[in-house]
Each structure stands twice: as C-alpha cells, then as structure tokens.
Amino acid sequence: MAPAPRTTAFLRHYLVAVQFFTRLPVTRSLATWVGFSPEMLRASAAHFPGVGWLVGIASCAAFAIVSLFLPTTAFTPLAAAAAATACSVWMTGAFHEDGLADLADGLGGSPDRQRALEIMKDSRIGTYGAVALVMVLLVKVALLAVLGAVSPTAALAALLAGHVVSRFWPLLVIRTLPHIGDAAGSKSKPLADAIPARALAVGAAWCVVPLAVAALAQGLDFVGAGLTASAFGLLWMHRLLARRLQGFTGDGLGATQQVCELAFYLGAACALGAR
C-alpha cells in the first residue's frame, strides 16, 4: 500500500487532535477515514495548537455576538467574556479544566508524590480542585472583561492567540519531562515518547498567524507581553511538575494549558495598562 500523501496525513492527524480534545463530531465515515491508533495520537500532538484555532474562533464568535446584541453598558464586556469562556469549556468538554482540578487536588492533598498521584486518579473533585477551578475561571473572565472594556478588538485578539499559544507550551513539557503514572490506563500515555523537533516546528507554525493578527490589531507590545507572561506560566508549571511529580501526566498538561492561557490574557491586559 502506497504511503498517504503528506497533505492527507496532515489532515488525518489534525482531525485526530480535534476528535481527542474537543466535542466536535468526527464520526461515521469521516472517523473511519481518519482512523485512530496510539501512533496517530502521538503524531497529532503537533496539531494541538491547531485545535486552539477552532476553540479560539468559536470563543471570539461568542464574545462578538454577545457584545453586538446586548445593550452597551459597563457590564457588557463581562457578559461577553463569560460567554466566550463558557463556549471554550463546552467545546472542549472541560477537558483541560478537569486536568487543572485533578492536579490541584493531588498536589494540595498530599506532599507525598505517590499519594498525590493516587488522589489525581480519583474522579471526585476535592476542595483544592474546586478552589483552583473557580479561581482560574473567575480570573479568566475578569481579564477578558478588562480587555473588552478597553477594546473589544483586544479581547478578540487575546482570545484567539491565547487559545493557540497555550496549547503549544504543553508540547515543551512533553519534550522535556518523562511521562509518569499508570501506563495502561493513562490517556496521555501515547504522548510519553519525546516529541520530535519537527512536531514542535509544526506546533509553532500554528501559532504564527494568530500572533501576527494580534500584533497587527494591537501592536507588538501586546503580543510580546502576552507571550512573555504565558512563557513564565510554562516555566512555573514545568518546575512544579518536575519538583513535585518528577514528570508529567495528562492532568499536568491540561493544567499547563489553563495556566498559560490565563497568563497570556494577564500579560496582554498589562500591556494595555502600560500605554
């Protein structure tokens, strides 16, 4: 059987990422054509930022629709920010938020590494997870509302770029830390092998257009501040996972995405405030 053309393989790997990380239907004949295997999931890692395109565009649409149809008041940006955040949570099935809550429960519940990993496997949410989840969602909505109050365009630019870039950073976690946890039951086990440099390059390429659009709309300082804050979020999460768990789990990757997304919004908002 002849190997699939590069464009076909690219599309299939992208659709595997969409299937794995969103609620968007990849079913029936399309699912049959795409196929699924641990090897394909591993290859699809390069397209995680590409999934951020879909989530970011949908979130931007939710923000814009609410902004257009609600009366213009001081609370309109807040409502639009809440709608955009709710849209992103729905599209992903709270996949990353679940990882954030599980990681917070594990690390907050015990200083012992093995016990923390056991707590993270529990499907029930605890106090630390609930607090972390509520705080991150509240701060995310608040920052988007601040951006929208200054300029709706700034909020839209930050939403798209933030969703894409925050899905690139976990690739560096996979690249630099070992996978830990239950190999048989872990959804992230196919990602355990180090991501090749080519996959990182593809992931970075997905980020170019959203960042360029944000730079054209709001300036290089806006993009630079968002990227810098998001990178610091990555460094903090990388250090936390390395120190407390000596590696990464799927929950750790989800938590990294959430922290880096929030940090991008924070950096972008600070850039507007410094003008």
Please name which of 98, 140, 27, 16 lies closest in space to residue 148, comparing C-alpha atoms. 140
Identify the DSSP state of 188.
Answer: T
Angle (deg, nearest 10), helices 197-218 and 220-244? 140
Kindly calculate the radius of gyration of the chain based on its CA atoms and give it in whole angstroms: 19
How far is residue 191's CA from residue 41's CA, in Å, rounded to a whole number? 7
- Kindly write down the DSSP assignment for every residue of 64-126, as one continuous string: HHHHHHS---TTHHHHHHHHHHHHHHHHHTTHHHHHHHHHHHHHHH-SSHHHHHHHHH-SS--
Would the pTM of this model clear 0.85, i.e. be above it? yes
Residue 256 belongs to some domain of the structure: yes
Which of 40, 39, 5, 1 shows the shortest CA–CA distance to 19? 40
- pLDDT at res. 3: 47
Query: How far is residue 46's CA from residue 229's CA, in Å, rounded to a whole number?
Result: 22
Residue 29's pLDDT is what? 73
Measured between alpha carbons, how far is 136 from 239 in angstroms, rounded to an integer? 19
Token code pair at residue 183: 């190999």
Domain that holds residue 87: 51-273
Question: What's the confidence (pLDDT) of residue 200?
Answer: 92
Instruction: Identify any residues that bridge with 179 across adjacent strands, giving them in sequence order.
Output: 248
Q: CA of 234: how far to CAs of 7, 75, 106, 120, in Å?
A: 31, 32, 19, 20
Phi, psi of 26 (to 5 degrees): -120, 85
Output the six-digit token pair for 198: 């080519």
Cα(103)–Cα(118) distance, rounded to whole angstroms?
A: 11
Block mean pLDDT (10 aa), the chain, length 275: 64 83 77 69 86 96 96 94 96 93 94 92 91 96 96 96 97 92 57 77 95 96 97 97 94 96 98 90
176 domain residue, yes or no: yes
Please tell me whether residue 248 adopts helix, strand or coil conformation: strand
Dihedral over Cα of 9, 33, 40, 19: its sign:
positive
Answer whether residue 26 is part of any domain. no
Report how many domains make up the chain: 1
The answer to whether residue 173 is domain-embedded is: yes
Give me the half-sphere count of Cα atoms (radius 13 Å) on the Cβ side of residue 92. Answer: 26
Neighbours of 243 (CB within 10 A): 10
Distances (CA, A) of 15 to 41, 152, 166: 10, 31, 19
CB-based contacts of 34, cutoff 8 Å, min separation 6: 12, 15, 16, 19, 26
5 within domain boundaries: no
272: helix, coil or strand?
helix
